[in-house]
Amino acid sequence: MKKICYFLLAICSVHFSLKAQATEEVSPETRALFLTTETDLQEWMAYLVSPECRGRLTGDIGFQKAAQYVADLFQEWGLELGGDQGGYFQHFPHPYTEVQEMGQFSLYFPVGKDWIAKEYPYPDHYMVGGTSDSGELHRLELAYVGYGITAPELNYDDYKGIDVKGKIVVCDRDIPYQGRDPELQKKWTPYQYHNLKMTNAVAHGAAGMLYITTTANPNPGWNPGFIYACISDSVARDIFAGTGGNYDAVKEGINQSMKPYSFVIEKKADIKAVTQFHPDEIGCNVIGILRGTDPTLEPEMIMAGAHLDHVGMMPVLMPGAMDNASGSVIIMGAAKALSTSGYTPKRTLVFVLYGGEETGLIGSKYLVDHPISPLENLKVVFNIDCLGTGYGLGARAAQKYASLLDYVEGANEAVLKRPFTTRLGNNEIITRPRTDDANFFVKGVPTISLFSFGAAYRTPYHHPGDVMELIEFDIVRDCVKLLTRTMMDMGNVEKIEASPK
């Protein structure tokens, strides 16, 4: 009997010894890949998309709560303070407009000597403009002004030969130029911004605007007395009905000919907006740092960022789960994994949650202009925006930085083996820059955008339907692992070289 007991004790001793040995032998690099769980990601996102965060419009109390939530987690994980005034926040000025009511939009059709009104449902066919002043416009004439651009240096003016004073202009988003010439892209790019279109309409005497896009746009550019609403393509087709032209054909004709096609429309509209402008508010970036340990490589930095903000209350909650709570929790997941696993990088790793992306890449622009370290120390900036569905992962960089994609591809092969793709972009300019990495790219900093592909459905954009229930957390979790492994590999390699392949 004693022999049996001794034998069992020996077996147990060996078992516990091997278990302890196995625990001790798990490297920090391996531990980092499994520290962040889907439960973590779901918990963080649930708070970011909650009514308490009010859609995270930069400057609003809801954004401030979201930023504080991230900063508290950064502190819990032991990240070094990366902001100003001895904290995690890097502050910048940020006026914003609060949409307080759904407002109203009606289109009037002439029928004999009478006018027949048609109402449109919110939010699929109209929304109050995100920077509209508060007020009402009643039965004002309409004028289509194409893209609403006046660009003398490009010999292009949508307002030439048309009087829009006191009228509501109907205007397309974006720009007519669809080509790939880098020099022309540089010249056309500034004219795509919403605020410039609004300001140009005001300069030509327009009373308001119907902006053809059913997305909430909180870009700055508030103009006193200027009232506007966003409308769908189907509303635009109703506006064009009976004019002798087809909306889609007219727009395509402008794109093909690069010549304006503006005209007064024999219809009228009402727009009502109830808003409040906050001119003196403050936004912030949230910055945490994992300091490098190598005396020579410590000044070099690898940065990973995503925008924390969304479009706020319009006036219903815009949760912004895909855009961009998804990217935010991925950055948070990598930050937790790398800072709490015991991993010690040679280079310094930086984690940023930007404010002001939705209002014109303001937070990332401020960081570029007020860097926490000279920009030449930035070896690469990762950016994640709207990554929350699909089955495959990918990475995008300019052709001149193509060699950096090997790190990401290698990380996928080592830890995930998901379907993976790489994409190469233009060397000179990011076409239609709408993501934060553009501000770094134009300063000569190598950038990599991570993305997913293979989604079975399209998530509503800048819409109340962008909800957490549509997020596929397995791809979010795996992107955390991909970013974590890539940053570890880059954090310890002797030299990072960005070059064409």
pLDDT tens per residue, range 261-275: 999 999 999 999 999
- Beta-carbon count within 10 A of 28 CB: 15
N-term to C-term CA, the chain: 71
Quick one: tokens of 234?
């189907």
Share in percent of the chain as helix, strand, coil (round to 5) = 35, 25, 40
H/E run at residue 172: strand 168-172
DSSP 88: S
Predicted confidence at residue 434, as pLDDT, reads 74
Measuring CA to CA, which residue among 61, 214, 59 is closest to residue 124?
214
- Cis omega before residue 28 (within 30°)? no
CA distance 14 to 6: 12
Q: pLDDT-based confidence at 15, cuts 50/70/90?
A: very low
143: burial class by Cβ within 10 Å (0-12, 13-18, 19+)? Answer: buried
pLDDT of residue 429: 57
Per-residue pLDDT at 190: 87
Q: What is the mean pLDDT of residues 47-68?
A: 98
Q: Helices 61-76 and 327-340 sit at what angle, rounded to 10 degrees?
A: 20
Q: Please report, to the nearest 10 degrees, the dihedral formed by the alpha carbons of residues 173, 280, 166, 258 taken in order.
A: -20
pLDDT higher than threshold 50 for residue 482: yes
Give residue 3's pLDDT band: very low, low, confident or very high (50, 70, 90): very low
- CA separation for the pair 140, 367 (Å, rounded): 43
**What confidence tier does 52 reach under pLDDT thresholds 50, 70, 90?**
very high
pLDDT for 191 beyond 50: yes
Mean pLDDT for 143-152 is 98
What is the arithmetic mean of pLDDT over 15-44?
78
Average confidence score pLDDT of the chain = 92
Q: How far is CA 435 from the centre of its chain?
A: 6
The whole-number average pLDDT for the span 239-252 is 93
In angstroms, rounded to a whole number, what is the distance separating the alpha carbons of residues 426 and 421? 17
Q: What is the mean pLDDT of residues 427-453?
A: 84
In this predicted model, which residue has the larger pLDDT, 20 or 450?
A: 450
Residue 249 confidence class, pLDDT cut points 50, 70, 90: very high
Query: What is the rounded distance in angstroms from the CA atom of residue 10 to the CA atom of residue 16?
Result: 10
Q: Hey, what are 392's tokens? A: 């495959």
**58-66 mean pLDDT:** 97
For residue range 93-121, what is the model confidence (pLDDT) as tens digits?
999 999 999 999 999 999 988 999 999 98
Token representation of residue 378: 């930035």
Sheet holding 168-172, edge to edge: 114-119, 104-111, 263-273, 135-144, 168-172, 208-212, 227-231, 126-128
* Of the candidate ranges 188-192, 415-419, 452-456, the one whose mean pLDDT is the lowest: 188-192
Is the per-residue pLDDT at 216 higher than 90?
A: no
Give yes or no for a contact between 380 and 404, defined as CB atoms under 8 angstroms apart: yes
Q: Where are the beta strands (DSSP E) in 274-376?
A: 275-278, 282-290, 301-307, 348-354
pLDDT at 359 over 80: yes
Q: Is the pLDDT of residue 282 over 70?
A: yes
How many helices (H) and strands (E) are present in the chain, helices listed first?
Answer: 13, 21
Residue 7 has pLDDT above 50, yes or no: no
Give the pLDDT score at 24.
Answer: 57
Among 400, 364, 500, 381, which residue's Cα sits nearest to residue 449? 381
Best CA proximity match to 189, nearest among 223, 240, 149, 140:
149
- Look at residue 430 in the predicted model and tell me its pLDDT: 52
Helix (H) or strand (E) holding 497: none
**pLDDT value of position 193:** 86
Q: Residue 428: what pLDDT? A: 64
Per-residue model confidence as pLDDT tens digits over 389-418: 999 999 999 999 999 999 999 999 999 999
Angle at 486 between CA 480 and CA 82, to 5 degrees: 75
How far apart CA 452 and CA 476 sit, in angstroms, is 9
The mean per-residue pLDDT over the stretch 79-106 comes to: 95
Asked if residues 228 and 198 have their Cβ atoms less than 8 Å apart, the reply is yes
Judged against a pLDDT cut of 80, whether residue 10 lies above it is answered with: no
